[in-house]
Amino acid sequence: MLEFMLAPLERYTDSVFRTLCHNHGADLTFTEMAHVESFLNRNRGSLEKIKIRDSTPVQIQILSGNEGKLNRFLTDFKPFDGFKGFNLNLSCPSRDVIRQGKGAAMVKRGAKTARLVSLIRDYGYPVSVKIRLGLNRKEKANKIYLNNLRGVDPDFFVVHAKHAAQGSDAKEDNSVYPECVEAARGIPVVANGSIETPKMVQTLIKMGVSGVMMGRPALRNSAIFDYLKNELGVNDPPKQVPTIGDLMREYDDIYAEIRGSETFRSRFLKVVGKTHPRY
């Protein structure tokens, strides 16, 4: 069955927002990305990112390039209700992250990624890998991202169809998906990037993807998951899609129940329902 996922969004995807999206059709959600080292150093901000306040299905997204440090983190990690595994971030385009050899800098390091995935699996946890099409146009042209798809064995891949040098307004190259699906050797491939219409999802399904991941469209309308599921016949019978006003009130109800962050609430209210919000 086609999976609908909420993308990890820095400064937005806290427990309240993840739960709101899950209530309206997101099958799986992800925490904001965090460095494994920040967990080991007991960084308060990073620990807050993985402070789970309910049982919404979630994977913890991590940045890591060091097996030893990842092993130390996993040794002390305790699963929680709703925990669905880890997501290795090989897609972050931040220059600071790339300078550390993490994020999109890891796309070309298939052997290293395979070892990190294997380590997580050794602890018995599910793991997924989120990648871009390389650091730049050259790496994309050389299709170095296929090394990960051909040589790494996660539970599923998420492919953001842009390279790291492209800005947020650049268009995704969805033509890469058929080759990505073939290279993945039967491991599910989830498409990510500017997905918000039934027609686009249908096109991606024909290319062989097993799921779609949405980020910014979900900020504007957290019920986009059920909207798409209704239109594609996934929801049978169709579910009622709430208004933006209904979503705002529901957000506040969840916020009060699980004691959410006022900072995250303020950010959410600035973008929900906006056609072209500033993030």
3-class secondary structure per residue, the chain: CCEEEECCCCCCCCHHHHHHHHHCCCCEEECCCEEHHHHHCCCHHHHHHCCCCCCCCEEEEEECCCHHHHHHHHHHCCCCCCEEEEEEEECCCCHHHHHCCCHHHHCCCHHHHHHHHHHHHHCCCCEEEEECCCCCHHHHHCCCHHHHHHHCCCCEEEEECCCCCCCCCCCCCHHHHHHHHHHCCCCCEEEECCCCCHHHHHHHHHCCCCEEEECHHHHHCCCHHHHHHHHCCCCCCCCCCCCHHHHHHHHHHHHHHHCCCHHHHHHHHHHCCCCCCCC
Q: Is residue 278 part of a domain?
A: no
Going by pLDDT thresholds of 50, 70 and 90, the confidence category of residue 161 is very high
What range defines the domain where residue 17 resides? 3-271
Rg (CA), the chain: 18
Whether 241 is covered by a domain: the verdict is yes
Q: What is the pLDDT of residues 104-128, one digit of tens each?
A: 999 999 999 999 999 999 999 999 9
Whether 252 is in a domain gets the answer yes
Is the pLDDT reported for residue 175 higher than 70? yes
Q: Record the tokens describing residue 94, joined without a space.
A: 């931040």
**What's the pTM?**
0.96
Supply 260's token pair.
């959410």
Residue 47 inside a domain? The answer is yes
CA 278 centroid distance within chain: 20
Residue 279 placed within a domain: no
Which position has the token pair 């329902």? 273
**Average pLDDT, whole number, for the chain?**
95
Asked if residue 277 is part of any domain, the answer here is no
| Residue 125 domain flag | yes
- 75: domain CATH number is 3.20.20.70
More confident residue, 85 or 276: 85
**Does residue 178 belong to any structural domain of this protein?**
yes
Residue 200 has pLDDT above 50, yes or no: yes
Structural domains in the chain (count): 1
